[in-house]
């Protein structure tokens, strides 16, 4: 049978999602935990995910699937697997799904959020969970720049050199930018991105350029020039991974899978 899991994790202590020889990735920990819970002596269970995350990037609803001959109740997969996971990784839900379901291939879109602290003082309790800038940002300027990015484009200018995607052309469906001001004059910013798929480091590279516009280093129309250049050298440096959260994939309602987890509700 095929099982789908939704899980959340704090990525600060891990070398990204994808399994590595070091064994210090989220996938490595999940597969070992599934193998221990299944208890059939065959070792870790192999999983496929909806979207890989880099070192330091967090997940609020990563979705994976795996095949097994072991029968367990849905909630048993949740509690039993979590008993073997470190405290900063937790399975949120489990569902039995048809064999036609594929965590990556069945997704129609993927969603990310970037949380940014604007403050003269660096973060402390939020360290590793938010990005940080100390210069004020202009919401209208960043919104104007973001409008140049929405739609189907060649995003080569925002693509990491190590990217393995077959094509740099992606459909960026939306960018939403919000600001929550604080009594001391600081602010938390939340940037949400939704696309059919993303390139390696694409969001962190977009963030670097949006922040450059927000701080007045470039006019909003500069973003169109960067996009048209199709050169990584045209854009700003890659921004910190600390405030980046994978909100999860988007699936057809016909799969009857949750669209969010409780982890969504504390994020600024």
Residue 114: C-alpha distances to residues 93, 111, 220 (Å): 24, 10, 20
Specify whether 114 is located in the same domain as 231: yes
pLDDT in tens, 14-33: 999 999 999 999 999 999 99
* Spatial distance between the Cα atoms of 89 and 84, rounded to a whole number of angstroms: 10
Write the CATH number for 148.
Answer: 3.30.70.660
* Spatial distance between the Cα atoms of 147 and 223, rounded to a whole number of angstroms: 9
Specify whether 57 is located in the same domain as 176: no
Q: Among residues 84, 106, 128, which one ends one of the domains?
A: 106
Specify whether 234 is located in the same domain as 117: yes
Q: Among residues 106, 128, 160, which one ends one of the domains?
A: 106
Specify whether 126 is located in the same domain as 207: yes
pLDDT at 40 over 70: no
Specify whether 140 is located in the same domain as 235: yes
Number of domains in the chain: 2
Specify whether 127 is located in the same domain as 20: no
pLDDT in tens, 119-176: 999 999 999 999 999 999 999 999 999 999 999 999 999 999 889 899 999 999 999 9
Average pLDDT, integer, range 2-6:
97
Query: Mutual orientation of helices 222-229 and 139-147 as an angle, nearest 10°?
Result: 40
**CB 189, CB 132: distance < 8 Å:** no
User: Is 155 within the bounds of a domain?
Assistant: yes
Identify the domain containing residue 25 by its residue range: 2-106
Question: Which of the residues are catalytic?
Answer: 54
What DSSP string describes 242-264? TTEEEEEEE--GGG---S--GGG
């Amino acid at each position: 049978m095929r099982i789908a899991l939704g899980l959340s994790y704090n990525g600060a202590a891990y070398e990204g999602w994808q399994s590595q020889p070091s064994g210090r990735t989220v996938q490595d920990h999940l597969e070992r935990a599934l193998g221990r819970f299944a208890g059939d002596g065959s070792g870790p269970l192999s999983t496929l995910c909806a979207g890989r995350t880099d070192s330091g990037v967090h997940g609020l609803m990563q979705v994976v699937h795996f095949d097994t001959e072991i029968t367990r109740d849905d909630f048993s997969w949740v509690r039993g697997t979590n008993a073997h996971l470190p405290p900063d990784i937790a399975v949120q839900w489990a569902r039995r799904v048809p064999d036609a379901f594929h965590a990556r291939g069945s997704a129609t879109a993927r969603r990310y959020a970037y949380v940014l602290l604007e403050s003269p003082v660096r973060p402390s309790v939020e360290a590793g969970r938010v990005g940080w800038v100390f210069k004020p940002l202009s919401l209208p300027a960043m919104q104007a720049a973001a409008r140049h990015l929405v739609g189907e484009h060649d995003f080569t200018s925002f693509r990491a050199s190590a990217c393995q995607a077959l094509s740099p052309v992606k459909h960026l469906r939306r960018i939403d930018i919000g600001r929550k001001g604080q009594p001391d004059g600081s602010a938390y910013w939340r940037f949400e991105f939704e696309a059919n798929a993303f390139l390696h480091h694409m969001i962190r590279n977009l963030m670097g350029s949006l922040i450059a516009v927000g701080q007045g280093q470039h006019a909003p129309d500069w973003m169109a020039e960067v996009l048209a250049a199709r050169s990584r050298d045209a854009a700003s440096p890659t921004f910190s991974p600390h405030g980046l959260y994978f909100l999860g994939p988007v699936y057809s309602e016909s799969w009857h899978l949750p669209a969010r987890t409780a982890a969504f509700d504390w994020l600024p």
